[in-house]
Structure 1
């Protein structure tokens, strides 16, 4: 019998708690916004990009739409939040970022109340947050449009989009925030839109070399060159472009032969790759070398790399055989 009384008491408490949550609601502290909605003013006509890593903000615009009015809502431990639908843009693969028509530039839309500690920092829909009865939650007063770098290459040009966000709270009619035909022209004097070599593949004829010459280190270096064209708006000063290499190596600049270890392949030797100053070429991004700027074209900056390749001993007995190798280069810019 005692067990049954305890069970009834626990059931009653659970029912009371559920009833309290179901009837909780929010209310306007003063009055709702006129017309029950907000229209976002136009963006600034131009947006200038600044340097930033991929995934970070290159530029932003903060626009006030409340005309100085403040619309707080009081809630009793309820959740409030915002949803949003963006038109004209697709997701960019980064949190809350949408892809634009300009290469490497994404848009992120946030809402803020700069003067209110109750709002906190910029919030990006969709989101929800808890409330406290002693801390009214204001409707947002500013929209923040952030231009986020989404890739290595960054272009320029017009961006156009729209959105409809809605603020919701229990017991209160949803408040829409609507931006239509939002357009700005992205200007770019920082980044290249693309860098690529004039020739995609280079063959360096190494010729036939006597084993005795490799043993003594008496081999002829073969020169190779690479011109790189970086397109986009020309920087005030030529921006740095770097290069490093990828391939089968034992250390920087010492390239193994294709199919090393096979009976028909030479052994005890490798191909040494160096720049014009005799420094072995790097095979890690952290050691990438600067390319030499050559000249400007109407739509591109031209950079140059000069290297050398020669056979050198790599340890062990040098044996004759096929001695080909392949190396790839990686351009680092922006």
Structure 2
């Protein structure tokens, strides 16, 4: 009797579980192939202007037209996609991977155009909950976005592989594979790099009498920067700007190194101005345009002229060491 009671109980539990929605699963209508291979990319990809983090170019490639859909999913079931991009690391932006071309990353998305249930390009990995009586379409198009990842932007060939899986509860995943996808990135709008001809510039300020500083009778010392920008052949010179960073009390007024120490001069500062007598900016929003000089076979050449001189900064002018350091920042692209 004990054995029969236990058996009856087990049969009862099994019957209830068999009708519970937890064992429901999605099903295919017009199931696609188990593996789909992406056709080749366009041979050349031309970049357009875009801020960092945005797409400079996109390619849309259709890979399936069988109108496959998932149906009969129950509440609590899931559908979505994951993605593996071979050999490329994250670019530090959402869903963006570094490439071998400086400043250019790729982002891979999937879409079923004109399908309201898909809802625009989606970038794996993603997962959504299903609902009864809804139909979930299988994607038909891959979008390759070329994302700007830095100030400098290069050019050249890009090649990569990826494997994506489309999956839903209870179904075998469908593999979407891109093998040796290659394109030549053409860049006619961005500099790949801008740098000064001289990495570190020393401006000899000489010895100046404190009385001359108090009287505003100091000699300005000239300094010059030649900047070479590579990777762009513009029909008109592209703007390149400059601003400065350092210990200042206001724009263009530079504090001495170790200010406040007993061996350092006080009551004075170094005034930095451009060739027109305007104090140099120390914020990006006030950056000054460099003067374009000429083109070279591999670069555009820009020039900046400035002056430095001692001026009173308030309080008693006392003798001492009066060195200062300033850094410059180039703004381009």
The normalised TM-score by structure 1 is: 0.91
How far apart are 1:291 and its partner, in Å?
A: 0.7
**Take 2:292 and 2:172, find their aligned partners in 1: how far apart are those partners?**
61
How far apart are 1:19 and its partner, in Å?
A: 7.1
Deviates most, 304-313 or 225-234 = 225-234
How far apart are 1:21 and its partner, in Å?
A: 4.3
CA RMSD of aligned residues (A): 1.8
How far apart are 1:162 and its partner, in Å?
A: 1.3
**Take 1:278 and 1:19, find their aligned partners in 2: how far apart are those partners?**
86
Query: Deviation digits for residues 74-128 of structure 1, max 9, x if unmatched?
Result: 1222110112211242222221111111011001100001111101121111111
Three-state SS of the structure 1 residue aligned to 2:234 is: coil
How far apart are 1:327 and its partner, in Å?
A: 0.7
8 A Cα contact 2:68 2:137, kept in partner: yes
Equivalence for 1:64:
62
Query: Deviation digits for residues 193-214 of structure 1, max 9, x if unmatched?
Result: 1111100111111111122211
Three-state SS of the structure 1 residue aligned to 2:172 is: strand
Question: Does structure 1 residue 178 correspond to structure 2 residue 184?
Answer: no
Query: Deviation digits for residues 232-282 of structure 1, max 9, x if unmatched?
Result: 132222211111111111000000111111122111111000000100001
Runs (4+) of structure 1 exceeding 3 A deviation are 16-21
**Take 2:170 and 2:188, find their aligned partners in 1: how far apart are those partners?**
50
Question: Does structure 1 residue 225 correspond to structure 2 residue 224?
Answer: yes
**Take 2:302 and 2:125, find their aligned partners in 1: how far apart are those partners?**
45
8 A Cα contact 1:88 1:160, kept in partner: no
Three-state SS of the structure 2 residue aligned to 1:286 is: helix
Three-state SS of the structure 2 residue aligned to 1:213 is: helix
Query: Deviation digits for residues 178-206 of structure 1, max 9, x if unmatched?
Result: 11111110000111111111001111111
Question: What aligned pairs does 1:1-334 form with structure 2 within 5 A after superposition?
Answer: 20-29=20-29, 31-33=30-32, 35-66=33-64, 68-74=65-71, 75-77=73-75, 78-334=77-333
Equivalence for 1:10:
none
8 A Cα contact 2:21 2:74, kept in partner: no
Relative to structure 1, the CA distance from residue 214 to residue 138 in structure 2 (aligned partners, 3 Å threshold; closer, same or farther) is same
How far apart are 1:142 and its partner, in Å?
A: 0.3
8 A Cα contact 2:265 2:321, kept in partner: yes
Deviates most, 156-165 or 127-136 = 127-136
Three-state SS of the structure 1 residue aligned to 2:217 is: coil
How far apart are 1:22 and its partner, in Å?
A: 2.5
How far apart are 1:133 and its partner, in Å?
A: 2.3
8 A Cα contact 1:97 1:107, kept in partner: yes
Relative to structure 1, the CA distance from residue 17 to residue 214 in structure 2 (aligned partners, 3 Å threshold; closer, same or farther) is farther
The normalised TM-score by structure 2 is: 0.92
Three-state SS of the structure 2 residue aligned to 1:143 is: strand
8 A Cα contact 1:55 1:148, kept in partner: yes
Q: Unaligned regions of 5+ residues in structure 2, if any? A: 1-15
Three-state SS of the structure 2 residue aligned to 1:214 is: helix
8 A Cα contact 2:107 2:144, kept in partner: yes
Paired residue total: 318
